[in-house]
Structure 1
Amino acid sequence: MTQSTMVEARTGRLPSIVALLLLSGVILDIQWGALSPLIGTIATESGLSGSEIGWVLNAMMVGSAISIGLTTRMGDIYGHRKVLIALIILAMVGSVLGATANGFWPLVTGRFFLGLAVAIPLSWGLLRPRATARQVRLVSLALSLLLSVCTPLATVVGGYVVELGLPWQTVFWVIFVMYAALLILALIAPETPAAARAAVRLDWFGALGLGVWVTALLIGISEGPSQGWTSPIVLGSVLVGAVVLTVWITQQRRAQEPLVSFRNMDVRQALTGFSGLLLIAIVAQGIFLAMPLLLQTPTSSGYGHALSALDSSYVLLGMIPGAALGYVWTRWGLNRLGPKVVLVISGTAGVALFLGLAFAHDAVWMFYVYAFGYSLTLLSCLTTAYTLVAAAARQDNMATTIGMQNIVQFVGSTAPVAIVLNVLVPDATGFIPESTFVGLYIALAAIVAVFVVAWAIFAPNHITDLHAIDTETDPAKVHVPVPSH
């Protein structure tokens, strides 16, 4: 059998797997974004306290943190399809629990089950052994575009549920239907070929240990602003996380086959990709958390715009055309210029974006421009990061490698959220001082600048894919450009 025939044979079922991956991305955005505008309604109708609402919000993150190391590695070893089907069924149960919840525990349990379903890494695991280098990059670009569009849409849709007077349970029923569609796609998808699976024993301690230390740190950091940084739950969680992390690192260094093995991977490319994910996890709080607060500040403050929570979320819709143009720019740039140049140019523009937010925020229309610019520039860094990581992973550790993206994003975003919530507090006038917003955006610009300098020094000049089905057997195709047309 010729190489082209082998490639054609293994890519025959690719469209259904791509659909599975893209739908997983849509569901992820709806799960995370659509519930936020409904928190007040849920708290009132369910009689939940502020602390209980916090746990409802964090339950999905905790479920993901616990699940991701274990389930992605199980997929890499035993087959991604069977693990994915089990998790989708759990997510459907979680959706029903959330939709029919009458109190705290059913709701938090439902959200926890939804968090367990880490569908994107497992879908990538199904795709990797069947995709060419070019297809991996195109799917990375498409998934990033879809996530960039659905993130603001999910928030606005959640706001419309409130505005139209629909029951908040509607969101959970929508998620249930989408998971049902995902289950159908998973059932018809082929299982990962045995040759593409990891021929190792499951490292139970490594997989579960990862979930324990990540969960403990996330709980400690996320509870800090509300419980107080010296409260027993915060100090205890951080201490447990630090101890387990230390033991986990020691165990992983001694393991014959660690949970995340960089063997035969382009390490610089993978680490550059993870750094891009970390940057966006940090600076996104300036757009999704700080910017709505600035817009909602009363005009009597001298700088606010007195928008409602729903009206301030409309500004995020400016991200949609920015994402579309950013897709074109990133695809062309990766093909013609390489990832280093794309990261440096987009990151430098991101510095200018946050400086603009710091010193020019007098009119509402400006915020639409900033949302557009954020999606065009900094989310191009995110798209490049996704592409770098996907192209670096091996076939037998694809799900685990993509799962580590989630860990980077969880840990990278939780601390900035806690910091922003501690900084953006009203002063004696009852308003958050304008100088606080200015200082925050200058700090974010400085953080982006540090990453830009690091990328200019360390980022690769081109994307390397050593493990696609057409490059493993033909080294000449390791560097495959994405067509710009």
Structure 2
Amino acid sequence: MHSTHSKSQPTASPAGPTVPNPAADAAAGGRGPRRAGLAIAVLASAGIASSITQTMVTPLIPRFPAIFNAPAATTAWIITATLLAAAVAVPISGRLGDLFGKRRMILILALPLVVGALVCAAAPNVETMIVGRALQGLGSGMVPLGIAMLRDLVPRERLSSAIATVSATLGVGGAIGMPISAAVVQFADWRALFIGSAVITLIVMLAIWKLIPALPAGAAGQRFDWIGAIGITIGLVALMLAVSQGSSWGWSAPLTLSLFGVAAIALGLWGVWETRTTDPLVDLRTAVIPRVLLTNIASIFVGFGMYASMLVMPQLLQLPSQTGYGLGQSILAAGLWMAPAGLMMLLLSPVGGRLSDTRGPKFTLVLGVLVLALGYGVGLLCMGSTWGLLATSLVINSGVALAYGAMPAIIMSAVPRSETAAANGFNTLMRSIGTTVGAAVIGLVLSQMTTTLGGEPVPSEAGFKLALLLGAGISVAAAIIAACIPASRVPAPVHRVPAAAPHPERAA
């Protein structure tokens, strides 16, 4: 059944079209502000739990070869498996959330986070660890689902701030996870990290089950696009494998080129299928709306710009001072120096939300990526001191907070309510592609531009400066793309759903 447009033309707002929202009114239950604040807090907690899970292994990466007595090329799959699982899970879980209920899908996605954590905690070898981290990667869809759910739970006047707050949990989770995991690695058994992660996720699951209402699914009654799911899985796995492993396999190696070819063919055929099927996994007819398309393209650049700093800052902090540019900090100290920047995202997110309400989310996005570029400029001037890097990370994460809060608001202002979760999931996927490409490019720069320390190659000062310049340039490109996003004038179409289709989501 193809969607039809509503004949009514309500006024659009920065966070989305002003249309009646019976689900949100019912969810408020007469306690609007209090109930909305509780929903924001619970969904933000879910985002923090998910992001902690993704970042907490960072201090363990150099130790995995010794822990499992395996080559570094093999232990690298612990990270790659997480990226691959997340890339596949995010768009698929978004569509499932639209079909069967966002709350239900968040609870379902929390299960592999818990099981994966327990598998990692008990892992006797690297193969088991890879499986556990792949399971945890499936939980990455919790954040975009939580953001999409806000449209159903929060009054319109608070929506922009709510979106910005939940989006900021990506940085907050990293800020909390890095020093905590570093402290555990330094003073206790690393397996305690995963046990703690499982406990935190279980608490969040209980809070969602008890405190978040079960609302009707926006696209209930439509079919799930299995062919589209298989097509995007093949294409994304091939693409992410080629990008993440190309530097170690060789960019001109037959396997790398073959994977790029498979990705191009699979995603091309997937795109054709999605435009012809009745109930697509990702409605590409909506995705090519200029407001959505340009936001997704900008998201790739923002993801690159954000992740470049995450690769550069910890290495500069931890490299020995004998290099002349390294700051000789321990893993724990490096995590503590970076923690305030993540917390800055949480503090600044309400400001970004209010800015989106008054000036529009497009303005906030452009401002955010310009601040991100400014942060890299500060880094080029101040990379020789811990306080300078702290200032750099504070400015960079301020820009990320503004940009990450604005992008979902732009997306949700342009898509029907029945596609909110799928569209948010696809936007998150674009950011993930950006971070993966950023990791590959910055990793290549730092591995090629090296100097020698104690007979071992380490990234050179020139390599770090080039990485910072790339981050600044990509951020400026993101600002130019964001500036071309059309203003929101026409409200998103409201899909007509048969009266018998919507069924309240059963309590999980």
Q: 1:322 aligns with which of 344, 356, 380?
A: 344
Rounded Cα–Cα distance in structure 2 between residues aligned with 1:444 and 1:125:
29
Q: In the alignment, is residue 434 of structure 1 matched against residue 461 of structure 2?
A: yes
Q: Give CA deviations for 1:168-201 in whole Å, capped at 9, x if unaligned.
A: 111111121122223323433443315x224322
SS of equivalent to 1:392: coil
Q: Which amino acid aligns with 1:419?
A: V
Q: 1:460 aligns with which of 487, 491, 498?
A: 487
Report the identity percentage: 22
Q: Give CA deviations for 1:233-274 in whole Å, capped at 9, x if unaligned.
A: 433322221221111112112223332226679944434543
Rounded Cα–Cα distance in structure 2 between residues aligned with 1:70 and 1:464:
26
Rounded Cα–Cα distance in structure 2 between residues aligned with 1:109 and 1:43:
16
Once the two structures are superposed, the pairs formed by residues 41-440 of structure 1 within 5 Å of their partners are: 41-117=63-139, 118-164=141-187, 166-188=188-210, 189-193=212-216, 196-261=218-283, 267-320=289-342, 322-425=344-447, 426-427=449-450, 429=452, 430-440=457-467
Q: 1:266 to 1:330 in 2, by over 3 A?
A: farther
8 Å CA contact retained: 2:117, 2:132: yes
Q: Which amino acid aligns with 1:367?
A: L
Rounded Cα–Cα distance in structure 1 between residues aligned with 2:24 and 2:103:
21
Q: Which stretch shows the higher mean deviation, 341-350 or 47-56?
A: 341-350
For 1:481, the equivalent position in structure 2 comes to none
Q: Please report the TM-score for the alignment, with normalisation by the length of structure 2.
A: 0.82
Q: Which amino acid aligns with 1:94?
A: G
Q: In the alignment, is residue 445 of structure 1 matched against residue 472 of structure 2?
A: yes
Q: Give CA deviations for 1:107-151 in whole Å, capped at 9, x if unaligned.
A: 111111122232233444544334332343232121123332222
Q: 1:9 aligns with which of 11, 26, 29?
A: 26
8 Å CA contact retained: 1:344, 1:455: yes
Structure 2 residues not aligned, in runs of 5+: 1-19, 30-34, 496-508
CA positional deviation for 1:158: 1.1
Rounded Cα–Cα distance in structure 2 between residues aligned with 1:152 and 1:209:
35
Q: 1:47 to 1:444 in 2, by over 3 A?
A: same
Q: Give CA deviations for 1:361-400 in whole Å, capped at 9, x if unaligned.
A: 2322111111111122243122211322244343222221
Q: 1:281 to 1:199 in 2, by over 3 A?
A: same
Rounded Cα–Cα distance in structure 1 between residues aligned with 2:259 and 2:266:
11
8 Å CA contact retained: 2:119, 2:129: yes
SS of equivalent to 2:278: coil
Structure 1 residues not aligned, in runs of 5+: 469-485
Rounded Cα–Cα distance in structure 1 between residues aligned with 2:56 and 2:215:
32
Q: 1:176 to 1:302 in 2, by over 3 A?
A: closer
CA positional deviation for 1:330: 1.5
Q: 1:38 to 1:92 in 2, by over 3 A?
A: same
Aligned-residue CA RMSD (Å):
2.9
Q: Which amino acid aligns with 1:300?
A: Q
SS of equivalent to 1:252: helix
Q: 1:433 to 1:106 in 2, by over 3 A?
A: closer
8 Å CA contact retained: 2:143, 2:166: no
